[in-house]
Amino acid sequence: MEVTWWGHATCTVEDSGVRFLTDPLFARRLAHLRRRRGALPPPEAGRAEAVLVSHLHADHLHLPSLARLTPGTRLIVPRGAPAAVAGLRRLAGRGLRVTEVGPGDSVTVKGVTVRAVPALHDGRRLPVGPRRSPALGYVVEGEARTYFAGDTGLFDGMAEAVGPVDVALLPVGGWGPYLGHGHLDAGRAARALAELSPAAAVPVHFGTYWPIGMDAVRPHEFHAPGDEFVRHAARLAPKVAVHLLGHGERVRPEVAR
């Protein structure tokens, strides 16, 4: 089992020879955001048997990045996403296989199970609405159980809803100087880690995109979350091996099943 972090919430999870790609964002710029750290992922990053989209926000469901996927790729999205985002329907017409799921649903991809789990986050396609889809996390269950949290805040019963996991990919920051409701910062992510109690963790969703013209506004919120998460995790979940990756780096966490 191997995890590669490409930046923001985009990861490749390879398990049992099956490649999963999370929330692909392969852009130098998205609206008012620009990529400040890490080279754009290479073309090989877009190769996957299945893509997991956690929610409808444009930095997680990015249509131009999804358009780069190979025809025939399975695209697993929150239930109602095609109704809310017309571009998804067009992509389905071009050969992507769109599967809608809600919390508790499972999909099997070449023998590996993907289970959708709840997340505490706004599920609308902003800035438009009002169509809603549930924000989701996913657990990939193969040789290991890997939890991709997407965007979420802490919520009651989180560990029970997610279930036992071996590796947790947790958001620890954002793309701007302030995190709103429904997000994890480094401290809250470490609290979630203590509840989930996996063998290993990889912090994501930090240190990649930042609003244009705001480089000097609370820059620690861009640079510090990864290191802060490592520090908080050492205190709150000392038995968890935390792997702080650079953009494009990969790790094979040691897990015991």
Q: Is the pLDDT of residue 111 over 80?
A: yes
Residue 238 zone, left/alpha/beta (φ > 0; ψ -120 to 50; rest): alpha
Round the average pLDDT of the chain to a whole number and report it.
95
pLDDT bin (cut points 50, 70, 90) of residue 93 is confident
The per-residue pLDDT for 132 is 73
**Range with the lowest mean pLDDT among 81-90, 113-122, 184-193, 228-237?**
81-90
The per-residue pLDDT for 122 is 86
Q: Which residues contact residue 180 at a Cβ distance below 8 angstroms, ignoring those fewer than 6 apart? A: none
The per-residue pLDDT for 4 is 98
The per-residue pLDDT for 256 is 73
Residue range 59-86, pLDDT digits in tens: 999 999 999 999 999 999 999 999 999 8
Residue range 113-146, pLDDT digits in tens: 999 999 999 887 766 555 678 999 999 999 999 9
Average pLDDT over residues 81-95: 89
Q: Is the pLDDT of residue 44 over 80?
A: yes
pLDDT bin (cut points 50, 70, 90) of residue 190 is very high
Cα distances from 75 to residues 2, 97, 108, 165, 223, in angstroms, run: 20, 6, 12, 23, 32
Average pLDDT over residues 28-47: 96
Q: Is the pTM of this model over 0.85?
A: yes
Average pLDDT over residues 206-223: 95
Q: What is the share, in percent, of the chain residues with pLDDT greater than 90? A: 88
The per-residue pLDDT for 123 is 81
**Range with the lowest mean pLDDT among 106-110, 124-128, 188-192, 235-239?**
124-128
Cα distances from 72 to residues 89, 94, 196, in angstroms, run: 14, 9, 34
Spatial separation of the C-alpha atoms in residues 34 and 10, rounded to whole Å: 15
pLDDT bin (cut points 50, 70, 90) of residue 95 is confident
Higher-pLDDT residue of 95, 248: 248
Spatial separation of the C-alpha atoms in residues 19 and 222, rounded to whole Å: 29
Q: Is the pLDDT of residue 179 over 80?
A: yes
Alpha helices by DSSP H, listed for 78-210, are 81-84, 86-93, 158-162, 186-196
How do the residues of the chain divide into helix, strand and coil, expressed in percent and rounded to 5?
20, 30, 50
Among 119, 223, 174, residue whose Cα is nearest residue 8: 174
Q: Is the pLDDT of residue 180 over 70?
A: yes
Q: Is the pLDDT of residue 243 over 90?
A: yes
Measured at the CA of 106, the angle between CA 144 and CA 16, to 5 degrees, comes to 30
Among 85, 82, 84, 75, residue whose Cα is nearest residue 46: 75
